[in-house]
Each structure stands twice: as structure tokens, then as C-alpha cells.
């Protein structure tokens, strides 16, 4: 099986109110791209801080030269974040989704209901389907669930429940393949908007797909 050619990523965060608690980050190391989504509980300041602690934990692991292609690396990072959050006494809970994408494979882990889906050839697959929606990271009892999938094309979309809970998968699928990846994430982030124009929840999402057709 030939590996994928180069791929592209795009991400967007759209807060429902003034200051949201969804956080998204894309990191690269060598051939690997690491996608992170964290949705701070209660859309609160403490939730936002917990979400930011996940981003820091992932960044620190990448900087420290951790093996980004092993799902255990990310499970350990989330377990550590969970314990540190409790030990700090600062409170705040969050979901966490970490996915490492290479040209052949996607591996990762999740806590809570931030999900990662693969859209390919009219099919949609939830890589995070076995996740535990509770307890959240920061509770001291988070149970990260790892996932692994051979990736041979199609669009990976990681997002908070602000997208997946409010928008039909078929509507999401119609937007993930828009020619311009940045236009795609903006269009996706607008899908949950109510008739009033308000968002029912913060939306944080990250999209990753091959930048050229697979030969």
C-alpha cells in the first residue's frame, strides 16, 4: 500500500459567547501532524484553563521528543494532565482529543465527547466511538481510550460536541471536501447556528486531508 501524498490541515474555533472554552491546536514534528481538541466544561474560565493545560501537555510531549506515533504516548499525557489538574487544586474539567496523523496511519486518544471522524467515499467512521464521555479530564478519574486506524485517504475531522451534537453527519460530510480547506472549516463551524444566528455551544474543529488525489 502506497503511503498518502502530502496532506493539509485547517482549524477553527467559534465561541458561542464572548469567551469560549473550546481550544484547538495543530502541531507538526517531522512527517507527523498532531491534532488537538479540548472542550472546557461549562464553557467556564476554569474549563478553558483545563483545556489549555491539555494543549500544553501535548506541546511539552512533542518538545520533549516523545514518540508521537504511539497512542500510549498520548494516553500517558492525558493521564498526567488529569492528575496534575487535581493536584494543582485549580479545578476545571475538559474533554481531550489528541490524534497523530502520518501518511499511513492515525493514532490517538480521547476523553469526553470531543470526537474524531473519518469521511471517505460516502462512508463515515467514528475513530473515537469507544470513548468514555465521563468522567472528564480534571476529575482525577478520566479514562482515556486509544484508537488506531490505517489511513489511506479521506477527510479526518476532529471537533467538539458543539458540532457533532447539533449537526447531522450527512450535512457535515457535504462540507468536508470543499476545495479550500479553510473555507471548509469556516462553513462547518457555521452549521450549528440557530435561526437566531446564535450558536448553541462553542465549536472547535480541525480538519486534515490529503492535499492531492491519491494515485
Query: Where do we find the cell 520533549?
Result: 64
Nearer to Mn ion among residue 14 and residue 39 (C-beta): 39
Min CB(162)–Mn ion separation in Å: 5
C-alpha cell at 145: 481510550
- Coil, strand, or helix at residue 72? helix
Q: What's the CA gap between 33 and 99, in Å, rounded?
A: 8
User: Which segments of 100-151 does DSSP mark as H helices, in order?
Assistant: none
Min CB(2)–Mn ion separation in Å: 38
- Coil, strand, or helix at residue 42? helix
- Determine the interface stretch with Mn ion among 75-83, 131-139, 160-168, 192-200 (rule: CB under 5 A): 160-168
Min CB(96)–Mn ion separation in Å: 13
192 binds Mn ion (CB under 5 A): no
Min CB(75)–Mn ion separation in Å: 22
**Among the listed residues 73, 160, 192, 206, the single contact to Mn ion using CB under 5 A:** 160
User: Any residues with CB less than 8 A from the CB of 18 and at least 6 apart, and which?
Assistant: none
Q: What's the CA gap between 96 and 78, in Å, rounded?
A: 8
Give the x/- contact pattern for Mn ion in 84-113, rule: CB under 5 A: ------------------------------
For residue 26, is it left (φ>0), alpha (ψ between -120 and 50) or beta? beta
161 binds Mn ion (CB under 5 A): yes
Nearer to Mn ion among residue 22 and residue 69 (C-beta): 22
* Residue 163 burial (10 A CB sphere; 0-12, 13-18, 19+): buried
Min CB(159)–Mn ion separation in Å: 10
201 binds Mn ion (CB under 5 A): yes
39 binds Mn ion (CB under 5 A): yes
Q: What's the CA gap between 132 and 37, in Å, rounded?
A: 16
Nearer to Mn ion among residue 19 and residue 214 (C-beta): 19
Number of residues that bind Mn ion (CB under 5 A): 5
* Binding-site ranges for Mn ion (CB under 5 A): 39, 160-162, 201
Amino acid at each position: 500500500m502506497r503511503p498518502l501524498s502530502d496532506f493539509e490541515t485547517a482549524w477553527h474555533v467559534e465561541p458561542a459567547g464572548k469567551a469560549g472554552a473550546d481550544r484547538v491546536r495543530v502541531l507538526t514534528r517531522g512527517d507527523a501532524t498532531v491534532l488537538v481538541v479540548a472542550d472546557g466544561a461549562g464553557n467556564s474560565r476554569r474549563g478553558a484553563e483545563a483545556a489549555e493545560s491539555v494543549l500544553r501537555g501535548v506541546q511539552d510531549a512533542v518538545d520533549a521528543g516523545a514518540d508521537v506515533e504511539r497512542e500510549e504516548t498520548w494516553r500517558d499525557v492525558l493521564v498526567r494532565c488529569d492528575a496534575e489538574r487535581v493536584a494543582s487544586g485549580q479545578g476545571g474539567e475538559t474533554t481531550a482529543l489528541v490524534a497523530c496523523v502520518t501518511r499511513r496511519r492515525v493514532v490517538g486518544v480521547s476523553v469526553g465527547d470531543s470526537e474524531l471522524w473519518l469521511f471517505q467515499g460516502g462512508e463515515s467512521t467514528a475513530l473515537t466511538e469507544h470513548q468514555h464521555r465521563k468522567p472528564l479530564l480534571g476529575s482525577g478519574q478520566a479514562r482515556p481510550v486509544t484508537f488506531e486506524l490505517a489511513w489511506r485517504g479521506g477527510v479526518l475531522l476532529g471537533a467538539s460536541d458543539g458540532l457533532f451534537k447539533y449537526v447531522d453527519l450527512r450535512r457535515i460530510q457535504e462540507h468536508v471536501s470543499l476545495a479550500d480547506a479553510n473555507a471548509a472549516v469556516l462553513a462547518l463551524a457555521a452549521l450549528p447556528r440557530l435561526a437566531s444566528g446564535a450558536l448553541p455551544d462553542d465549536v472547535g474543529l480541525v480538519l486534515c486531508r490529503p492535499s492531492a488525489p491519491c494515485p
